A = this chain, B = another copy of it.
Amino acid sequence: MPERVVQAMSQPLIDHRGPQFAALLSKVTSGLKEIFKTVGGRILLFPGSGTGAWECCIVNTLSPGEKVLGCVNGHFSDLFCKTATAHGIDVERLEVEYGAGVPAERIEERLRRDRDRHIKAVLLVQTETSTGVTSDLAEIRKAIDAVSHPALLLADVVSSLGCSDLRFDDWKVDVALTAPQKGLMLPPGMALLAASERALEANRSAKCARSFWDWRPVLESNAAGYFPYTPATALLFGLSESLKILSEEGLENVFHRHARLAEACRRAVTAMRLNLFAKNSAQYSNTLTAVAMPEGLDSDTFIDHTLKLVDLPLGKGLGKVKGKLFRIGHLGSLNELEILGVLAGIEMALESFGVKIPLGAGLAAAESYLLETAKKRSPL
């Protein structure tokens, strides 16, 4: 977390029914709209988590018994679909190999066959944190439009928002849901959603039982500058500051910075003679890189070893890919020297774990790429 965010969060709390709060809410809402790239979308904030955001999305837009197409290409998309099932939704799973993105053409094909328009929504995760894969939402939108299917597009953008591009309006996303602890550089504790006009319309007829997550009272009281529940004011202070930080750097610059560090990381990994878990270079995530563990070695053991050796916490393989990969995060306010330090630590950990690698080779590749791209930016 940036120190500025920590500071903002430790401000004395303000009355959540007073005029200062209304101003804070208004600032946060308009800042989020810029990040989501939406003009007409409505922002909805709840104390909660990404898991809560899934439930909030489902119960507000769907009715028990309705059919949806759930795209499953990793651990988190699997759980998103299971949340829908728990609320009585009939989820048809579009299973995709882990490591691949959601294929627009398969969505198109399935929707084309749905002549009676039974499928009410398409559920997917933009960046699968478990595999380091970012699916192409623009293409998916085109696929849906190609068959003029009215299904809502419900997207988890937890690991992508604020790190790589999301165009809520242009891509006609209906609900984009996220949590604050990734690209927004905050501690966890909230569910954040953007909802389209069509999503709000669906909300009016959706029959899933709801009370806490219900959008209507939130939208009504937000219009008056407050919340129907006691909001997590400290997080809103922090959010206001992190949006300011993103805005000061410029969103496209933030994306470019993530993309540059991610590519440096991937070049280093390749120079260490390891394989990326993501299959397709067009789908590499700029938020995190999943690295396939060499055959015969268990990544969980390697991750424990790395933590002990150099106090570096890597992400584990989740669900079906447990033991098969480790994940390097390169999001938020991470800078060049920090990612280089992380890569050096991974070299040390691999070497001492028995993976034969040329020490320094990964670093040289990353440094070389960073220098090359730095030179392009500003001649020294």
Contact = CB atoms under 8 A, between A and B. Distances in A.
Contacts of A1: 13
A378 B378 CA distance: 45
A375 interface: yes
**For the complex formed by this chain, how many copies does it contain in all?**
4
A214 B52 CA distance: 11
A321 B187 CA distance: 38
B344 A371 contact: no
B311 A337 contact: yes
A181 B13 CA distance: 11
A353 B375 CA distance: 11
Given A189-B235, A364-B360, A344 B340 contact: yes
A11 B3 contact: yes
Contacts of A213: 55
A164 B84 CA distance: 41
Interface string A343-380: 01101100111000011111111111011001100101
Interface of A: 1, 3, 6-7, 9-13, 15-16, 18, 47-52, 54-55, 58-59, 64, 82-83, 86-88, 179, 181, 187-190, 208-214, 228-235, 305, 308-313, 335-342, 344-345, 347-348, 351-353, 358-368, 370-371, 374-375, 378, 380
Given A179-B230, A311-B337, A340-B344, 9 more contacts: A3-B11, A18-B313, A47-B47, A51-B211, A86-B209, A87-B211, A337-B342, A359-B368, A360-B361
